[in-house]
Every structure is written in C-alpha cells, then in structure tokens.
A and B are shown apart, each in its own frame.
Chain A
C-alpha cells in the first residue's frame, strides 16, 4: 500500500498535495484497492465553492458507490476530466493520473488538521 510521504491525508481516505495556496486532491491507494475497479467518477464544476468535509464528488466501483470529501475549503479551480472517460486511472495511479480536483484554499491553516503520512499509515494499521 503506497502512502507517499509528501502528501496529507484524511480519515476518509482522501489525499491532498499542497503547493502554496492550492491543494490537489484524490483518493488513496488504500481507498482504490478497497473499492475495486472504478467504473464511474463524478466531479464538481470548476468554480464550485466547497467547505472542508463537503462531498466533492463520487467514485463508483462495480459493487459500490463512495462519496469523496474535500479535505480543505475553497474554490474548485481544476477538475481531472480525463477521469470521466478513463475512471480506471484512479486504480492504476491514484496519486498521479488519478487526481480528481484542484482547490484554491480559502483557509490554508486547515492543512494543519490533516494527517501526515505517518499518521495515515497508523490509521490503516488500526483499520486492518
């Protein structure tokens, strides 16, 4: 299970890559593995305003639908539209080609409340 050291994580298995006041967001390797093959992705619109913890969209495998929650508040500035036609990118490359949205953070201090890689690994151990 890959847990890159340079990302932040949530208890609901999203990751955030923070650069300046922007955060790129997706679901973790653990989340994609647990879901199985992803066959459908729903994304927000560019310009949507979201608060931390809001649903930003959904990923669905053959078996199940799962909401994806934004770890940080702000405005959606980019969505990965390639996922609409190739949702399997999330399985193949959850931290790379499988990114879902980019958010311009309205409150960058929220990042401090997220889990770091070590804390997320602990969480996975507890859940196992």
Chain B
C-alpha cells in the first residue's frame, strides 16, 4: 500500500441472469476497487443469484443532471415516435388465429408452392 488512500464511492451493478441487463443496485464506499468488489459481493450477492457484477468508480460516471433542463426537454408532440399504434396487435393476432379455417382454405394452403 502506497500512502494513505481516501475512500471513494463505487456504483454497483448486478446481472441476475444471462438474459438480464446489469442493473444498478446501489453504491458503497471502499478504499480501492478490489476492496469494492469484495464488499459488493457480500453486500449485494448475499441472497439472490447473479451471474455478473460490475463495480464502477463514481468518478468514472459521466452524467447530465436535471440542471440542464434543455437536455431533457420535450417541446413537440412525439406520439408519432411511439409504438402505441401497435397496441392491439396481440388482440388482432389472437382473432386471426382463432378463426376456423374452411376446408377450401386448408386445401388452398397445402397447394401453395
């Protein structure tokens, strides 16, 4: 150990399964990154299962906060960007699938090249 070290804040991310993204679960103070990993293991993996853990020094996080209000502004109608137009897809699909096929339709389907 070289000299006295200040404790630093670390952000902890846990991936619960391979299908999940890493999720921010909290932060901790530690003397250095390897200690942060050891503490994160005992603090955040005590109960639930996980497959991966990230520890990031808070100083390494570049952020834009609420003080830059223009960054987060929503001035115009954005509904055309949303996927709400597809909201009844599941219902339509269900109706389509539940429709009984006539014998002719089945024959036609089988004859398709």
A binds B: no
A interface with B by C-beta (< 8 Å): none
